[in-house]
Amino acid sequence: MKRKTFYFAAILLCFLVTFRLSAQNAKLTLNLNKSGAKVSPTLYGLMTEEINHSYDGGLYAELIRNRVFKDNMETPEAWSVVQEGGGKGTIMLMGANELNVPMEQQRNAINDALTVCLRLVVEKGDGRVGIANEGYWGIPVKPQTTYQASFYAKGTDEAAGPLNVSIESNDGTVTYASGQVTLDKGPWKKYRVSLTTTAGIKPTAAGRFVISTKRPGSYYFNLVSLFPPTYHNRPNGNRIDLMQMMADMKPTFLRFPGGNFLEGDYFSTRFPWKSTLGPLEQRPGHPGCWGYRASDGIGLLEFLEWCEDLKIEPLLAVYAGYSLKGDYVYPGPLLKPYIEDALNEIEYVTGSVKTKWGAKRAEDGHPAPFKLSYVEIGNEDWFDRSPSYDGRFNQFRNAIKARYPQILCISTISEEQKGKVTTGDVPSMIDEHYYRSAWQMEEDADHYDKYNRATSPKIFVGEWATREGVPTTNMNAALGDAAWMTGMERNADLVLKSCYAPLFVNVNPKTGTLPRAWQWGSDLIGYNAITSYGSPSYYVQKMFNTYLGSQVIPVAGTNIPVKRATKQDSTNRRAIPKKATIPTLFYVATKNTKGGAVYLKVVNTSDKAQAVTITLNGATGVAAEGTMVTLKGDKPDDTNTIDEPEKIIPVTSKIKDISKTFTQNFAPYSVNVIQMYTRP
Ligand code: AHR
């Protein structure tokens, strides 16, 4: 054959093959007769820390911002003076006023934790004068709701008498609920009152909390608190809507208290678990690492009770001698106090009431110990270039193993995360974090297919997210998430645990002098004071967790169309694509070994609907009827917002024609789960 003719024939053949292939459906063959990986029963969990007002102004139901007046030592942040109808007054922060004087003799300190208070001086009581708190971007007002208000107060003798307590509109013209307490003469005393709103109120976040009087005098306030009803009616509890959203995700564990929040910027600002225990009166709060102070109203016991409420296991991260700004403790004798502290913390969680810290837990109201299988030693220690982590990890692990042989220790470095691996025994798990673009998630969805089972430690993907969409993620992120999750799920014998981060975001924008509520864009669940919503990524989490079998079914995919990186992908400097083309379909299948349920997850990242031929190899029988759950967007940047919370939600439909080989259509930009039943 002449050279020219040969080239022509070759081009024609390529064209025909390409044309034929593209004209054919993609094919997924589920090999039910072959055994894939056993799925870790704790594959999907939750990760949490105080970021984006996740707790204060978020999950923690407390409505009063700056309740112990320590958020800003210059000014009573979130507080203002109310002066009406000729009433005149001023407010001012007051510290514990004398140094070297025992606390009980200091006029303004209630104890070592409550050392700053707010003073209201009422000069003229012709009208109402008082203090108002604006809450976390508003006090939420709902109809027929009872709020529990409490505060410490004292006053000069002429101040004694009734104090009005109310929830009202920001301008004070509408009172939604009110009550009264009688201020006694004498020292600090705690006052409590219930406030109930009437029916027929339109829910609003434009409320404020006010304590007021018409009598001149000096008034002092501290630990001012207002709680709406909480999840499971727990005192000092959590927001009902956000707890329910987590419960709906069907998680199996909670990683806490961080993240960076565990480490703190410095040693002195690490998560101070001991001062987060006991009555609120004992909790001074501490500087967080995300630009605002943490009240520590969600303290160590509240984290554990949060797990209890969701019926999940805690995964406790202990401070391991490294803080965000680079301070580290050299392994050896200097590290010992930190190790002792971690052992005590574990004792608080797991010890019997006969142990010192177990007894403290009982005193705090929870005699029963909590189950704790895993302890993570530090957070993201690949940032510690010293390189002290190897020594720190091994010293912590040896001490934990010696006292709690049943507890498995998680290391925070791996080669994957540009850290070295630790020496000594292979860690029980290694925590790897991935924050990426959708393209990066999709091109690396086979990441764990490539891990060597014989040499790799088990993996905990302790933080990960597709970072597209602000402040909550969009549909493109959800597609990237779902593609990535197919890979984790297919390798769920290796990846034993995973959790998305960050979980929560208060979506309030900058308003007046208040900064915007969030620090990290791309989060899972958004809210303001009154309402909440799930991002498309949230629904992907829910779908993947809900429909999960106990064993992976090997799936062969053929004729899968590919896509090219877009200009936008290539210009995103933080996320340059490594591959020129990637598949547009991602998939994973699992089955329940009992009952015959099969779950096939298919992600279509393409802008076109795709018809896929599905073959159930090795099934002797197939039920014709099944269900399909679909999450889809019209375009990649479609999203949910606080004003349009349900633009993208999963829709369940019936499939009636399932057989050993059948064709199913998958919408453009969609994440799908097919639930079907087969007989082996
Ligand atoms: O999830 C936000 C932050 O990302 C975490 O605090 C930290 O561990 C990671 O760098």
Residues 173, 276: Cα–Cα separation, whole Å: 38
What pLDDT is attached to residue 571? Answer: 56
β partners of residue 225: 150
Ligand 1, residue 47: give the atom nearest the CA. 1
Mutation choice for ligand 1 from 55, 262, 379, 461, CB with most ligand atoms inside 8 A: 379
CB-based contact 116:93 (threshold 8 Å): yes
566 pLDDT band, cuts 50/70/90, is: confident
| Residue 367 Cα to chain centre, angstroms | 27
Q: Is the CB of 463 under 6 A from ligand 1?
A: yes
Task: Examine the pLDDT at 1 and tell me if it is beyond 70.
Answer: no
How far lies 376's CA from each of 46, 373, 423, 477, 643, in Å? Answer: 14, 10, 17, 28, 38
558: helix, coil or strand?
strand
22 pLDDT band, cuts 50/70/90, is: very low
| Angle value at C-alpha 368, between 366 and 371, nearest 5 degrees | 115
What pLDDT is attached to residue 23? Answer: 61
Residues 379, 322: Cα–Cα separation, whole Å: 8
What domains lie within the chain, and their CATH numbers? 23-33+553-679 (2.60.40.1180), 79-227 (2.60.120.260)
Residues 630, 670: Cα–Cα separation, whole Å: 7
172-201 in b/e form (b: 16+ CB < 10 A) is beeebbbbebebeeeebeebebebebeeeb
Protein residue with least CA distance to atom 2, ligand 1:
502
Protein residue with least CA distance to atom 9, ligand 1:
259
CB atoms within 10 A of CB 362: 17
Q: How far is the CA of 96 from the centre of ligand 1 (A)?
A: 36
Q: What is the mean pLDDT of residues 251-274?
A: 98
449-483 pLDDT, tens digit each = 999 999 999 999 999 999 999 999 999 999 999 99
Ligand 1, residue 520: give the atom nearest the CA. 2
Which residue bears the tokens 């949230």?
Answer: 538
98 is catalytic: no
Q: How far is the CA of 445 from the centre of ligand 1 (A)?
A: 21
What pLDDT is attached to residue 5? Answer: 56
Q: Is the CB of 288 under 6 A from ligand 1?
A: no
Q: How far is the CA of 408 from the centre of ligand 1 (A)?
A: 22
Pair of tokens at residue 355 = 């142990």
Pair of tokens at residue 244 = 């329910």
Residue 178 has phi, psi (to 5 degrees) of -150, 160
Q: What is the mean pLDDT of residues 565-591?
A: 81
Q: How far is the CA of 227 from the centre of ligand 1 (A)?
A: 29
How far lies 409's CA from each of 280, 501, 609, in Å? Answer: 32, 21, 45
115-164 pLDDT, tens digit each = 999 999 999 999 999 999 999 999 999 999 999 999 999 999 999 999 99
What pLDDT is attached to residue 417? Answer: 78
Q: What is the mean pLDDT of residues 9-24?
A: 49
Query: Closest Cα partner for 68 from 227, 224, 296, 282?
Result: 224
Q: Is the CB of 379 under 6 A from ligand 1?
A: yes
Mean pLDDT of the chain: 94
What pLDDT is attached to residue 101? Answer: 62
Ligand 1, residue 435: give the atom nearest the CA. 4
Q: How far is the CA of 464 from the centre of ligand 1 (A)?
A: 9
Task: Examine the pLDDT at 680 and tell me if it is beyond 80.
Answer: no
Protein residue with least CA distance to atom 4, ligand 1:
259
Q: Is the CB of 259 under 6 A from ligand 1?
A: yes
What pLDDT is attached to residue 579? Answer: 86
Q: Identify the helix (H) or strand (E) that includes residue 480.
A: helix 475-490
- Inter-helix orientation angle 336-350/389-403, to 10°: 40
CB-based contact 223:152 (threshold 8 Å): yes
Protein residue with least CA distance to atom 7, ligand 1:
259
Query: Closest Cα partner for 389 from 348, 349, 430?
Result: 430
Task: Examine the pLDDT at 232 and tell me if it is beyond 80.
Answer: yes
Q: How far is the CA of 659 from the centre of ligand 1 (A)?
A: 46
Query: What is Dmax (Cα atoms) for the chain?
Result: 113
* Pairing outcome for strands 408-411 and 429-436: parallel
Task: Examine the pLDDT at 6 and tell me if it is beyond 60.
Answer: no
Residues 679, 616: Cα–Cα separation, whole Å: 10
Ligand 1, residue 463: give the atom nearest the CA. 1
Task: Examine the pLDDT at 70 and tell me if it is beyond 80.
Answer: yes
345 pLDDT band, cuts 50/70/90, is: very high
State percent of the chain over pLDDT 70. Answer: 94
How far lies 145's CA from each of 34, 61, 285, in Å? Answer: 56, 14, 28
Task: Examine the pLDDT at 336 and tell me if it is beyond 70.
Answer: yes
- HSE (side-chain half, CA atoms, 13 Å) at 161: 11
81-128 pLDDT, tens digit each = 999 999 999 999 998 765 566 665 667 899 999 999 999 999 999 999
What pLDDT is attached to residue 10? Answer: 53
Residues 473, 522: Cα–Cα separation, whole Å: 5
Q: Is the CB of 258 under 6 A from ligand 1?
A: yes
Strand order in the sheet with 555-558: 555-558, 26-31, 610-617, 661-666
Q: How far is the CA of 495 from the centre of ligand 1 (A)?
A: 20
Q: Is the CB of 501 under 6 A from ligand 1?
A: yes
CB-based contact 389:326 (threshold 8 Å): no
Ligand 1, residue 261: give the atom nearest the CA. 6
Residues 300, 261: Cα–Cα separation, whole Å: 13
What pLDDT is attached to residue 513? Answer: 78
Question: Of residues 380, 432, 443, 463, which has the active-site annotation?
Answer: 380
41: helix, coil or strand?
coil
Q: Is the CB of 56 under 6 A from ligand 1?
A: no
Which residue bears the tokens 């990242």?
Answer: 605
Query: Closest Cα partner for 291 from 555, 43, 72, 30?
Result: 72
Query: Closest Cα partner for 537 from 460, 627, 431, 639?
Result: 639
Ligand 1, residue 49: give the atom nearest the CA. 6
| Residue 87 Cα to chain centre, angstroms | 45
Q: CB-based burial of residue 546 (10 Å sphere; 0-12 exposed, 13-18 middle, 19+ buried)?
A: middle
Q: Is the CB of 120 under 6 A from ligand 1?
A: no
Query: Closest Cα partner for 308 from 390, 378, 264, 367?
Result: 367
What pLDDT is attached to residue 18? Answer: 41
Q: How far is the CA of 247 from the centre of ligand 1 (A)?
A: 23
Query: Closest Cα partner for 224 from 287, 123, 148?
Result: 148
Q: Is the CB of 502 under 6 A from ligand 1?
A: yes
What pLDDT is attached to residue 505? Answer: 98
404-439 pLDDT, tens digit each = 999 999 999 998 877 889 999 999 999 999 999 999
CB-based contact 680:626 (threshold 8 Å): no
574 pLDDT band, cuts 50/70/90, is: low
635-675 pLDDT, tens digit each = 999 999 999 999 999 999 999 999 999 999 999 999 999 99
Q: What is the mean pLDDT of residues 35-63?
A: 97
